[in-house]
Amino acid sequence: MQEALLNVQRHAVATVVNAQLTYEQDKLIVAMADNGRGFSISDVAARPGHFGLQGMRERALSLGAE
């Protein structure tokens, strides 16, 4: 969640961010949305040194999360 908020701050040019945490008995659900400018996944993947989404994915997998 921290990385997602940092990405919004650094790149999205958003004026509104909605972060929702839902605690259930056996899981935690994190949902993020903003009104920022968006991006193309393929464009981000092609930029060297930018690992925000991939880093979040790898951290989630290392914890057994999706």
Residue 16 CA from chain centroid, whole number: 15
Query: Looking at residue 31, what is its pLDDT?
Result: 93
Q: What is the pLDDT of residues 31-60, one digit of tens each?
A: 999 999 987 777 665 566 656 777 788 888
Question: Greater confidence, 33 or 3?
Answer: 33
Average pLDDT over residues 4-30: 92
The rounded distance, in Å, linking the Cα atoms of 41 and 11 is 14
The rounded distance, in Å, linking the Cα atoms of 60 and 40 is 21
The CATH number assigned to the domain holding 51 equals 3.30.565.10
Question: Greater confidence, 48 or 4?
Answer: 4
Q: Is it the case that residue 16 has pLDDT exceeding 70?
A: yes
Q: Which domain holds residue 23?
A: 2-62
Domains identified in the chain, total number: 1
